[in-house]
Structure 1
Amino acid sequence: MSKIELPENIASLSAYSSAKSEKLTGTTWLNANESPYSRRVNLNFDALNRYPDPQPDAVISAYANYSGLNPEQVLMTRGADEGIELLVRTFCEPGKDSIALFLPTYGMYKVTADTHNVGITALEQNLLQQGSATDILKAVGKAKLVFICNPNNPTGATVSTDKIASIAAALKDKALVVVDEAYIEFCEQLSAASLLSDFDNLVVLRTLSKAFALAGLRTGFTLAAPDVLAPVRKVIAPYPVSAVVAQIAQEALTPDAITQMRRQVSILNKAKEKLIEVLGSSDKITKVMTGQGNFVTVQVRQVNDIKQAMQSGLIMRPFTLFNEDNWLRISIGSEQELEQVRLWLTQPQAEK
C-alpha cells in the first residue's frame, strides 16, 4: 500500500453512490431515472486520428437554438456532473469558500464540495419552498454558489421561475445561483433559461441523460452569461467532448429528434400519473411525493417490502430520507416495466 498521505478532505470523503455503482442483479431496472426509450444511431468517421473540436459548433448551435439562447451562453460538458465540478473548481477557493444547498437533494453537490475542500451550508428544502428571497439571502450567508435542483431529486419538488428570479436578484453580486435542470423537460414551463438575459449571476445546468434518453452518452450543458463561462472555459479539460459524442448529440438535437423526445416525455408523464394512482391505493405505501420528473419517490410501510422487490428482480432506488430508511425512488419506465411495480404492490406484505 502506498505510504503517500491523502489530504484530510479526501481521506474522510464519502463517495457518491450512483445507482450503477451497486453491483445488483435484476430483470427490471427502475433505479437510475433512465429513459426506457433506446436510441439507434448511425456513426460515420474518417478522422478519429485527429483531436475533436473542444466545443463542437454544430452541437453548441443546436442546443442554443433548443434552449432559446445564444451559442456564447452554452458550454458542453461531460454530463451535468462536470458542470457542477467546474463551477466549484472555478469559483470556490479550497479551505475558504462554501456552497449552499437545500436538503434533501442530489448528492453530487456535496461530494464535489467535499472533494475540493469547499464548505457546505446545508439548508432545508422547506426554506427554498416556503421562505422568501430575503430569508434565503440571510441563510446562505457567504456561500459562493447556491445550488437549486429544479425539479428536485429525489423529492420532485419544484420552484417557480418568479421565485428563482427573486433569489437571483437578492444574491446579485454575492453568489451564483445554479439551477440544475436535469429533469426540466418533464415540466418545461419551469425552466429558468429565459432568465439568463436578466441575471448575470444565474447558471442553468442541463443534460441529455434523462428526457433525451442518452444517459450512456454522458453529455450535459452549462448555460450562463458569457462573462460567467469565460473563467470556466479556462478550467475545463482541453478536449472534453469526443467526436463520437458530438455526432450523436448533434443528431439528438435535430428538430425531428426533439419532437420525438417531447412525445416520449408526454407518454412518460401520463404513465407517471397512472403509477401515482396505483401507489396511492397500495397498503405497502404510506406516502407518495407527487412532484415533477421521470420518477416517483415513496415511503414504504416496511423495509422488507423493498427487499422483496429486489429479490424478485425489480430494482428500484432505496433512500434514507428525513432520518428514515424506508424511502424508495421509482423511475418511470415502460408499460411492461411499470407492470412489474404493480405486481409487486399486489403481493402479500413481506414479514418483518
Structure 2
Amino acid sequence: MATSLLPKNIESLKAYSSAKSEKLTGNTWLNANESPFSKSIKVSIEDLNRYPEPQPESVINAYSEYAQLSPAQVLMTRGADEGIELLMRTFCEPAKDTIAIFTPTYGMYKVSADTQNIAINTLSQDQLKEAQISELSLLIGDAKLVFICNPNNPTGSLTPVDKVAALAKALENSALVVVDEAYIEFAPEQSAVSLLQDFNNVVVLRTLSKAFALAGLRTGFLLANDAVLNPVRKVIAPYPVSTAVAKIAEQALSVDAITQMRRQVNILNSNKAKLKTWLSNSPKVTQVLCGEGNFVTLQLSDKTLIEQAMKAGTIMRPFTLFGEDNWLRISIGSEQELEQVKLWLEQSE
C-alpha cells in the first residue's frame, strides 16, 4: 500500500551512498574526509526544556567575524547538506526548474534535486575548467542554481575565484552561483566570500565538518546577501539548531580554537604532500589528481588492491570516475594512519 503512494521521482530515487553507509570493519579510517583530530568538549546545559534560538546569536556573530562578513549575511544550518536542500526548496519549482552541476562532484546535489523533482543539467569539470564564460553561460542555459564545489570533491580541483566572479556576472539576472566551500580552509585564498560585496547572486556553503573537525556535530552555514537569505529564512525549520550544537559550535569558533584549526590544517597539508609523493612513486598508482582538500584521489593499476587494504583494516573510499572503477580517494589522516597506507603500497608491490 505504502509504495503505491510514492511519487515517481521518489520511487526511482537512488539514495546518496555516504562513506558510513556500508557496515565496514577496520582500524584505520580514511574514507570519509574526516579530521583525525578529535576534540574534547565540555557542555553544561540546564535549559533544554526551552526551545533554542532559531539562529543562535553568539554563533552567528562568531562565524561572521571568522568569515569577515556581517551577521546578516550568515545563516546557520544542519550541515552544508541542509543549505543545499534549502536553496532548492526556496528557489526551484518542482517539475519545472533546473539546476546545473559539474561532474564528477559531490553526490548530494543530484540526490537533493531528484528528491524535489528538479531537473539536472549535468556538465563536466573539464567544461567548468576550460570553457570560456560566454560558452559556459550557454551550456548552463536556464538553470536557476549552479553548484560549484570548490575545492571539488572528489577530484580536489579548484575553480579560480575570478572565474566564479565572471560567471556570476554573466548569470546575475538568471541564476544563483552556489559555491560549496566545504574544504576551503585547505585553500583559503580561493574563497568566494569576497564576492558577496559585489554580487547578490553568489551563495557560499560552509561547514564545520572538515577542517574544524566536527563532522559529528552536523553544522554548516549559508553565506549570502539579503536577496538570498531573506526568502530562505521563510523556508528553514523554526528551530534548526539544537542548544547543545550551538554551544559546541560557539566554542569551536573562539579565537584560540580557530588558531588551533589553522595549525591542524597546516599539519594535514604537510601530511598530504608526503602521501602524494608516496603515491607518485608507487608502481601500483597510475594517476594522482591534484587534491586541494583534505584528501587525495588516485587511480590504481588494479582495483583488487583496494580489497587488500580493507582486509588489512585500512578503509579508503573506492570510486568509479571517468567511466573506470579503479579509483580511490584517501582522506588525509594522522602520520600514523598514513603510515598504514604506505605499508599497504609497499606490501602490494
* TM-score bracket relative to the smaller structure: over 0.9
Correspondence for 1:297: 297
| Partner secondary structure for residue 319 of structure 1 | strand
Q: Structure 2 counterpart of 1:300, which letter?
A: L
Describe how 1:315-334 pairs up with structure 2 within 5 A.
Answer: 315-334=315-334
Matching of residue 151 in structure 1 with residue 141 in structure 2:
no
CA distance in 2, matches of 1:2, 1:105: 33
Matching of residue 79 in structure 1 with residue 115 in structure 2:
no
CA distance in 2, matches of 1:319, 1:227: 38
CA distance in 2, matches of 1:279, 1:145: 37
Correspondence for 1:162: 162
CA distance in 1, matches of 2:226, 2:262: 29
Unaligned stretches of 5+ in structure 1?
none
Question: Which stretch of structure 1 is more off in the superposition, 124-133 or 210-219?
Answer: 124-133
Shift, 1:291, TM fit: 2.3
CA distance in 2, matches of 1:227, 1:106: 26
TM-score normalised by the chain length of structure 1: 0.98
Describe how 1:174-213 pairs up with structure 2 within 5 A.
Answer: 174-213=174-213
Q: Structure 1 counterpart of 2:265, which letter?
A: V
CA distance in 1, matches of 2:79, 2:131: 31
CA distance in 2, matches of 1:89, 1:3: 24
Correspondence for 2:41: 41
Shift, 1:164, TM fit: 0.7
Question: Which stretch of structure 1 is more off in the superposition, 27-36 or 340-349?
Answer: 340-349
CA distance in 1, matches of 2:348, 2:213: 34
1:204-234 Cα shifts (integer Å, max 9, x gaps) = 0000000000000000000000121011111
Shift, 1:4, TM fit: 3.8
1:41-72 Cα shifts (integer Å, max 9, x gaps) = 11011101000001000000000000010000
Matching of residue 270 in structure 1 with residue 270 in structure 2:
yes
Correspondence for 1:136: 136
CA distance in 2, matches of 1:278, 1:246: 40
Correspondence for 1:255: 255
Q: 1:46 to 1:12 in 2, by over 3 A?
A: same
Unaligned stretches of 5+ in structure 2?
none
1:137-169 Cα shifts (integer Å, max 9, x gaps) = 000100000000000000000011111100000
Q: Structure 1 counterpart of 2:215, which letter?
A: A
Shift, 1:110, TM fit: 0.3
CA distance in 1, matches of 2:284, 2:347: 9
Q: Structure 1 counterpart of 2:62, which letter?
A: A
CA distance in 2, matches of 1:303, 1:46: 52
Shift, 1:321, TM fit: 0.2
Shift, 1:131, TM fit: 1.1
Q: 1:140 to 1:277 in 2, by over 3 A?
A: same
Q: Structure 2 counterpart of 1:335, which letter?
A: E
Shift, 1:3, TM fit: 5.3
| Partner secondary structure for residue 187 of structure 2 | helix
CA distance in 2, matches of 1:71, 1:348: 52
Correspondence for 2:29: 29
Where has structure 1 moved over 4 Å in runs of 4 or more? none
Q: Is the 8 A contact 2:305 2:348 kept in 1?
A: no
CA distance in 2, matches of 1:209, 1:164: 24
Q: Is the 8 A contact 2:102 2:124 kept in 1?
A: yes
CA distance in 2, matches of 1:259, 1:123: 38
RMSD: 0.8
Q: Structure 2 counterpart of 1:229, which letter?
A: L
CA distance in 2, matches of 1:181, 1:3: 37
Q: Structure 1 counterpart of 2:121, which letter?
A: T
CA distance in 1, matches of 2:111, 2:48: 34
Shift, 1:2, TM fit: 2.9
* Equivalent residues, number: 349
Describe how 1:86-105 pairs up with structure 2 within 5 A.
Answer: 86-105=86-105
Matching of residue 54 in structure 1 with residue 44 in structure 2:
no
Matching of residue 226 in structure 1 with residue 226 in structure 2:
yes
CA distance in 2, matches of 1:223, 1:188: 15
Q: 1:340 to 1:74 in 2, by over 3 A?
A: same
CA distance in 2, matches of 1:30, 1:126: 27
| Partner secondary structure for residue 197 of structure 2 | coil
Q: Structure 2 counterpart of 1:38, which letter?
A: S
Correspondence for 1:282: 282
Correspondence for 2:8: 8
Question: Which stretch of structure 1 is more off in the superposition, 318-327 or 340-349?
Answer: 340-349
Q: Structure 2 counterpart of 1:227, which letter?
A: A
1:151-201 Cα shifts (integer Å, max 9, x gaps) = 000000001111110000000110000000000000100000011010000
| Partner secondary structure for residue 348 of structure 2 | coil
CA distance in 2, matches of 1:68, 1:193: 8
